[in-house]
Homo-oligomer: A and B are copies of this chain.
Amino acid sequence: MPIAIPADSVGLVQPQQLHFDQPLDLACGRRLDNYNLTIETYGTLNADRSNAILICHALSGNHHLAGYHSMDDRKPGWWDSAIGPGKVIDTGRYFVVGLNNLGGCHGSTGPNQINPDTHKPYGPDFPIVTVPDWVESQARLADRLGISQWAAVIGGSLGGMQALQWAIDFPQRLRHCIIIAAAAKLSAQNIAFNEVARQAITRDPQFYDGHYYAENAIPKTGLMLARMVGHITYLSDDGMREKFGRDINSGQLSFGLGPQFQIESYLQYQGERFSTAFDANTYLLMTKALDYFDPAADYGDSLSEAVSGTQCTFKVISFTTDWRFSPERSREIVDALIDARKPVSYAEIDSPQGHDAFLIPIPRYMEVFGACMQQVAAELPPVPESR
């Protein structure tokens, strides 16, 4: 049955693919001679090109931020709760840009795309990409779209890391930087969980050293395990307790080795669904981009030095029960900005939903986020009456 599109949705949307043939030199020392970026945009770029907002995606996200690709879509884009007419990121006011990052698996050049040199999928030969590489490619995307300065660059989790990197690498090209549920670098525990995911994928016999496309195989078990581990770190202990507690599946104890508690079936379901929807090589690349993110490293391990040249205002938001990137990690960013005498505001949102909270339209979060966006909007020329 076709869906009914809500009035505050961006509605039916279409991705576009843009080709770039200026070579991109990557942090790893390798070069992409040319590449494609798949993007989606909503709203209209105003006359002075001042109302563009870039949304950077997290580990498993992509360009499809909001709206529907067809009337049969069961779900809208991943941040539909925040993006649309009259929503926090108001598409009646802003020109909103989403892209699939390089190395992704949703249309941009990445492991599951054909390498023009070999006419085969890049597979494991796709180079390691880093947050600064992505930001460079996004700057070229801005050039292509005629956007010399973003009104704001916004992201949650790994997306927030890209927003921070934007402020450091292109200080004049954004006015506001909104960093949600992120960290200035991963902890050993964060890296450890990523490594479990990578081991699960690369040791799956269906992985074939990353050449599973040629074998018509998918390392489903590895991806499922990776997602299960990831999912536990996205939820909070409290949130899981509220949602699942120790509720059992069938109403009585089975005393078997299969799933007994609802949390087990839930995780298996999430893991299995993900295992056929996401590319394993991309998952590896995304986790490595997380591990390597460390903008302070080039500045003598001083984050306040790293942000000393930034020119935008910063808004940092964290969530109380997020233990993947806890409020403490957000405060490290805030402290560095304060040290560097940069304009920053910070909000810690009370929520039981852990890291996942950044995707959820929690009323207080939306109020705070809305206040941030009011400041972005205040600098824009008035919207013409006709709209």
Contacts and interface: CB of A to CB of B under 8 A. Distances in A.
Interface stretch (A139-147, A149-157, A253-261): A253-261
Given A188-B246, A192-B267, A257 B225 contact: no
Interface string A353-365: 0000000000000
A203 interface: yes
Interface centre among A188, A193, A263, A288 (most CB of B within 10 A): A188
A29 interface: yes
A235 B243 CA distance: 26
Interface residues of A, number: 53
A290 to B, nearest CB: 12
Given A186-B246, A255-B27, A255-B28, A199 B268 contact: yes
A271 B259 CA distance: 24
A264 interface: yes
B232 A196 contact: yes
Interface in A197-243: 198-200, 202-203, 205, 221, 224-225, 228-229, 232, 235, 237, 240-241, 243
Given A195-B264, A267-B196, A128 B188 contact: no
A245 interface: yes
A199 B185 contact: no
A188 B221 contact: no
Contact of A240 (B188, B244, B256, B261): B188
A191 interface: yes
A178 B202 CA distance: 43
Given A188-B240, A225-B225, A240-B187, A195 B257 contact: no
A124 interface: yes
A228 B195 contact: yes
Contacts of A292: 253, 255, 260
A284 to B, nearest CB: 6
10 contacts: A128-B256, A187-B237, A188-B241, A192-B232, A192-B263, A195-B263, A196-B228, A199-B268, A205-B205, A225-B225
Interface of A: 27-29, 124, 127-128, 185-189, 191-193, 195-196, 198-200, 202-203, 205, 221, 224-225, 228-229, 232, 235, 237, 240-241, 243-246, 253, 255-257, 259-261, 263-264, 267-268, 271, 284, 288, 291-292, 294
